[in-house]
A = this chain, B = another copy of it.
Amino acid sequence: MKTLKFAVLPGDYIGPEVMSVALDVLKAATEPAGITLDYTEAHVGGAGIDNEGKALPESTIKICEEADAILFGSIGGPKWENLPPAEQPERAALLPIRKHFNLFANLRPGLLYKELTDASPLKTERIPEGIDMVCVRELTGGIYFGPKRTETLPDGDIQATDEMVYKKSEIERILDVAIASAKARSGKICSVDKANVLTTSVLWRKTATEYVAKHAPEIELSHMYVDNAAMQMARDPNQFDVIVTENMFGDIISDEMGIVCGSLGMLSSASLGTGKNKYDLPFGLYEPSGGTAPDIAGKGIANPCAQILSAALMLRYSFGENEIAEKIEKAVKQAVMDGFRTGDISFGKPSIGTKEMAAAIIERL
């Protein structure tokens, strides 16, 4: 009998609500295969600050270290928004956890079912079949983690500096992830950079060209400047299949992709580490792309799909349970197609609550 050992970090506001039902779905999906869930809950984000004085408490890190994957909720919100930007829960938990576990590859499926195109801000005729793409973002390099300094100049002016730094080897390992994604999809990768301005992007583009030619010549690689990518994402998102890009550009472009896909309540993500777990698969952190939705927290009406789909990604990438992952993904899609809708995707029509949504998904497993 296989046991899946993972850490559960529900976080703040709607975090615990959607996490709770996502665990129900996970249990219902794995039990028939004789799989047992062995998970430990821990505080993170605002819950970490309130209960243990830190957005990412040591006790939480320890629980994660002892696990084979992390199922993460959402963190942050108005309660902590008067803290300085760098101490806010999201920032103060996510950046250290990414660095600690070397979570270098962030995968965000940009998925909008045909049935939900009304939720997208884009005109429906531009996305008649919905949207289906993936953004692969480098997550532990670049300007996020390069040296930073602030100094007072001789003339009294103040100067701040952030260094964007990339090594060839860091670019190659994120390309590996993009190549694997592309092979499972259309075989096309669009690498997004700013090679007409940045030296890091010149290295990025050169490395991408050489690496793909050498290791995956069957992949069709194209390059696009980030300003153009921001336009194309809003103009015609389906021209993309797999996007690969550096940390800061990925932060911006993947969020734009998220909104173009309509409800953030439907969008999952996986952040894969360099480390392997006991299944010889990547240790990873799995979380919804959306936030903590403080306005609807406690009402039992949050959309749990993003959290459930994140759990499916965990099964796929960290536990190698592809079939069960697909079963969950299909059940979510079927429930939505059958008209089960939380308020964010009901378009003003009557909607159901978090638990009812999860129940509809479990019935369709």
Contact = CB atoms under 8 A, between A and B. Distances in A.
A276 interface: no
A167 B159 contact: yes
A168 interface: yes
Interface string A64-96: 000000000000000000000110101100010
Contacts of A201: 85
Interface in A323-343: none
A126 B118 CA distance: 12
B256 A205 contact: no
Looking at A150, A161, A233, which has the most chain B CB atoms within 10 Å of its CB? A161
A255 B227 contact: yes
B234 A260 contact: yes
A143 B166 CA distance: 14
Interface in A113-141: 120-124, 126
Given A162-B198, A202-B86, A157 B143 contact: no
A352 interface: no
A158 B200 CA distance: 10
A269 to B, nearest CB: 13
Contacts of A157: 167-169
Nearest to A142: B162
Interface residues of A, number: 63
Contacts of A163: 161-164
B253 A230 contact: yes
A361 B330 CA distance: 56
A199 interface: yes
A196 B90 contact: yes
Contact of A256 (B86, B143, B167, B256): B256
A90 B161 CA distance: 27
Interface of A: 85-86, 88, 90-91, 95, 120-124, 126, 143-144, 146, 148-150, 153, 157-169, 194-203, 205, 226-228, 230-236, 248-249, 251-253, 255-256, 258-260
17 contacts: A85-B202, A91-B197, A95-B197, A121-B123, A121-B235, A121-B236, A148-B198, A149-B199, A150-B203, A158-B168, A159-B168, A160-B203, A194-B251, A226-B252, A227-B252, A230-B253, A252-B252
